[in-house]
Amino acid sequence: MNVTAEILKPFWARLVLWSIVAGALVLAWLNRFIQDDAFISFRYALNLVNGHGLVWNPGERTEGYTNFLWTLFMAVPHFLGIGVVQFAMCLGMAFFLGTLLLTYRTALEISNSQATALLTLALLSTNYTFIAYATGGLETQMQTCLLMGCLFFAVMGTREKASGGMLAGYSVLAGLSILTRLDSAVYLIPITLLLFWSILRRGSRSEQISRLMLLCLPAVLLVLPWFLWKISYYGDIVPNTFYAKFNSQTSMIRGAQYLFSFYAAYWLLPFVILLPFSLRFILERSPRHILPITVAILLWCSYVVFVGGDFMEFRILVPIIPLLMMLIAWLIVEFVRQMEIRYALVLLVIAGSVYHAVTFEMNNRIGYESISFLEKHLTPEGGNWINMGRALAKEFNAGSEVTVATGASGAIPYYSGLRAVDLYGLTDEHIAKYGVPWTSVPGHQRRAELTYLVSRDVNLVIGGMRRTPGNESRVHSYEEMRGWHAVIHSPRDIPPDSCLIEIPTPDGRTFFAWYIVKNPTIDKAIETGKWLVHPVAP
């Protein structure tokens, strides 16, 4: 009996399909997590619901998020009074399921092969990065799902008897994906060109014009008003994060290292080597959609190199992982003839994902953080940032006019509810454009000067945790404070009456905060003697 043939029968194909999908959902939920950057969107959404608008601090219009549509979704749990973390996780899982089903349907339409479609889904469902970023609290799976929807509608829209609804559907999803993240446009370039070519090669001139209108108009009606609103509200089309991330020490070498690390970590380098040898095969014998998919992968990889990669474990590559697995599955089934080599290549991809999930923690050499490390920032076992934010909320209410500055500009500002300045400038226009160049790590290239924080009336610059509460006060020198989060050019930058204080967290530990601008509420708390105070020597 031919086992493969049996599997490909309709009943068994559906059984295998839903078994893979169910397994992927279970794995994704077991690997669920939340990361600090998600709380940036949560804070914008909370301020929107509270009537302040889409702002980081009330009264300050700075676009410090890159995921407009996702941020609007995050307003829903705040409006309903339900947990935003749980809502974000469940919504991410819903988009994850959508991505899985759209990937399968698209692979089936392109290859006309049940084996290729199921293999694509199996490889995708065992990719650790793709599974883990089903959650995380950011827009990753939403963008990926919308882009896969675009590809599916594009494939259906290039058929000889395709309806105009497919083109309109593509246009709507393309507009929504750009509203989710502007960089979706990079992915959409070759797919849109494919649709243009498909429209212009058949039909009368009037039919071509009407179909081009269906292809363009819905996206324009979605994106153009948004652009006009951004200009009137924020004064710019691109978000402030563009200046923080790309207007400084962006390193293409770091981006190339990041990209290479992804392919090496997942043992995918053999397929990178195989690709040049298979280009002729792709051009001559592949379905017409394989080429634009290949171009989309190459364009996105080039974009990743150009922006210097990311500091998070391969998150920026998630949107093209379904395309990668589709291309790999198609090459294995169509290009490789020996069954033994086919099985070996499939096992290589799956084993590479397992190896990566088990062994990868953090690569300090190129500066990106593992998924488990991202999660630990928030937990008591790691940075304890959630408890730090809650401790600030307990000590100071929103009416105390206390302002904090922190590089961990997610959970700490969100849970504290206090006016906050991001030391890396993601939500601060001045730091993003004029902060001191510091590193080439994406999102961390520039850093605030202490003198600027003083001019912004920042009271507390938040530092790290002390595992056990201290019981002795000691003087901290200028040299020690130079290693603090804000940039200090000379001893004259340090306010003469500044000090370090230790603020207790709910779990019995303390964290440091540099008190630089006087505030009556903070002075009163210090006078009670419940905080340990460390003098700072200019």
- In this predicted structure, what is the pLDDT of residue 98? 97
Is residue 422 pLDDT above 50, yes or no?
A: yes
pLDDT of residue 208: 87
pLDDT in tens, 161-192: 767 889 999 999 999 999 999 999 999 999 99
Which of the residue ranges 5-14, 126-135, 477-486 would you say has the lowest mean pLDDT?
Answer: 5-14
Question: Do the Cβ atoms of 373 and 136 come closer than 8 Å?
Answer: no
Label residue 365 by pLDDT band (50, 70, 90): very low
Contacts of 501 (CB under 8 A, 6+ apart): 460, 512, 513, 515, 522, 526, 531, 532, 533, 534
Task: Name the residue with higher pLDDT: 277 or 337.
Answer: 337
Which residues, other chains included, contact 227 with Cβ-Cβ below 8 Å and sequence gap of 6+?
Answer: 237
Percent of the chain with pLDDT over 90: 54
Q: Helix (H, G, I), strand (E, B), or coil: what is residue 461?
A: strand
Confidence band for 23, pLDDT divided at 50, 70 and 90: very high
- Long-range contacts of residues 346-353, Cβ cutoff 8 Å, at least 24 apart: 346/119, 346/122, 346/123, 348/267, 348/270, 349/123, 349/126, 349/266, 349/267, 349/268, 349/325, 350/122, 350/123, 350/126, 351/267, 352/265, 352/266, 352/267, 352/268, 353/126, 353/127, 353/128, 353/266
In terms of Cα–Cα distance, which of 430, 503, 510, 437 is closest to 469?
A: 510
pLDDT of the residue at 359: 80
pLDDT grade, residue 1 (50/70/90)? very low
> In percent, how much of the chain has pLDDT > 70?
90
Instruction: Using pLDDT thresholds of 50, 70 and 90, give the confidence band for residue 202.
Output: confident
Lowest mean pLDDT among 137-151, 229-243, 245-259: 245-259
In angstroms, rounded to a whole number, what is the distance separating the alpha carbons of residues 121 and 347? 14
494-529 pLDDT tens trace? 888 888 898 888 887 888 899 999 998 888 888 887
pLDDT of residue 250: 61
Task: Render pLDDT for 428-472 as a digit per residue (tens, 0 to 9).
Answer: 999 988 888 877 777 788 889 999 999 999 999 998 766 555 566
Write the burial class of residue 201 (CB in 10 Å: 0-12 exposed, 13-18 middle, 19+ buried). exposed
CA atoms within 13 A on the CB side of 499: 17
